[in-house]
Amino acid sequence: MLSLKHPELNQILSSLPVGLLTARTDENKLILILKLSKEMILAAKITRGFRISFVPYSVNEKNHHALLVLFPDNFEEPLSLVHSFYENLKSRELLELFSQDTFQSYFFDEHNRELLACNSFLPNLEQFRNLATELNPGQESDHPTSMTFEEVNEWYSDAPDNNASNTFEVTFSSDVYPAITHFIDSTQAFSPMPGDLSFVHYSLERTEPGDQQELDILLLLKKIIPDADFYLNPVRTDTKKEFVDVLAANDSHVLFVQAKDSPNTESLLRTSIPRKASKTLAHLKKAVEQMKGAFNHHKKNPVLKFSGEQKECVVDVGEREVLGLIVVKELFAEDAEKYWKAIESIFAITGMRCLIVDYTELHLYSNETNADSFFPTLEFLHTNMMEKKQFIRARFN
């Protein structure tokens, strides 16, 4: 595995929220490193490839191209990633890489875990090589703000025939190493409860998503608020039932997290958009009721007591602010009104503030906020939503 041969990759990937990197081998060939969501990686594995599309656009009356990477997961709308494509060494090396007869593609998830590696090539290589000489990456200084995901996707949709002449298949010919289905990282330990110790385990395909998704959420939160105390699936001492999926407590705040994920399997990836949206709403309905229960228990019991393997764990909330966070697999713009009503319902019944995000958005928080800004950002968003009576998602420059 590339990550075992080159452990220094972890530090490089840690500085990349998501996207594409190139690296040059001793043989002077470029390899492709992709940091993506587990859904995109699974889509690439199942379809044995992905697509790259160089989307034309104009800024200040100058014509340029943006790079859109597409991972077909169903027949309606592929998963997609906008990658910066400016006039710099990184973009020139991407063009050089895709112009090679063959290259290796290594896939890492948001936690920098290597999950897939494939020998790759472009079937329409000569056509790409011809286009590469004509592509016009923009100057980063030409853009007062970064291009948004929505803008590039809109340009792609508006281009004639879905930009077919500038879109290329990247096909996998074989695996670089035999496929691995399950991983245990003995170099990374975590504490599900203070005083306990476990190793990180994970897989790409997940038929039962719960425990892995909850651990992934804990790891993202640990990146944001590293000095907090974390409790994974804390169990109440009185009822012996799970209180929340994740609890995080630092000096100023206590965060209750309810996680709702779906399996990461081929059948789920192939599910239609309306069906995926319906699943989110069903999961959200259950999570809202669970969050209301957690808030009501806290209001009656400001000192929370949980069972641990070694000893009873006590969280004395005291004067700390308590917030709730519901994390689902995916949110859909057309259901924003329903998300807002769920947030309003929790506040109306419990008087407590709770926000709803999808996992990709929480990953964004882990790259754009820290212990000083995370909770103020959540509180600001909730206040804004209550004032405007609509669902609002965080936007970062």
Q: d(Cα 244, Cα 235) in Å, to the nearest integer?
A: 8
195 exposure class (CB count in 10 Å sphere: 0-12, 13-18, 19+): exposed
**Whether the Cβ atoms of residue 81 and residue 151 lie closer than 8 Å to each other:** no
pTM for the whole structure: 0.85
Q: Map out the domains of the chain as residue ranges.
A: 2-175, 182-388
Q: d(Cα 202, Cα 41) in Å, to the nearest integer?
A: 14
**What is residue 18's three-state secondary structure?**
coil
CA atoms within 13 A on the CB side of 26: 0
pLDDT of residue 49: 95
Q: Which residue has the tokens 């995926």?
A: 276
* pLDDT under 50: residue ranges of the chain: 144
Q: d(Cα 273, Cα 342) in Å, to the nearest integer?
A: 21
What does CATH list as the number for 182-388?
Answer: 3.40.91
Secondary element (H or E) of residue 326? strand 321-328
**263 is written with which tokens?**
């399996």
CA atoms within 13 A on the CB side of 249: 19
pLDDT of residue 82: 82
What Cα–Cα distance (Å) separates residue 153 from each residue in 71, 97, 297, 341? 13, 24, 45, 29
pLDDT in tens, 104-152: 999 999 999 899 999 999 999 999 999 988 887 766 666 545 555 567 6
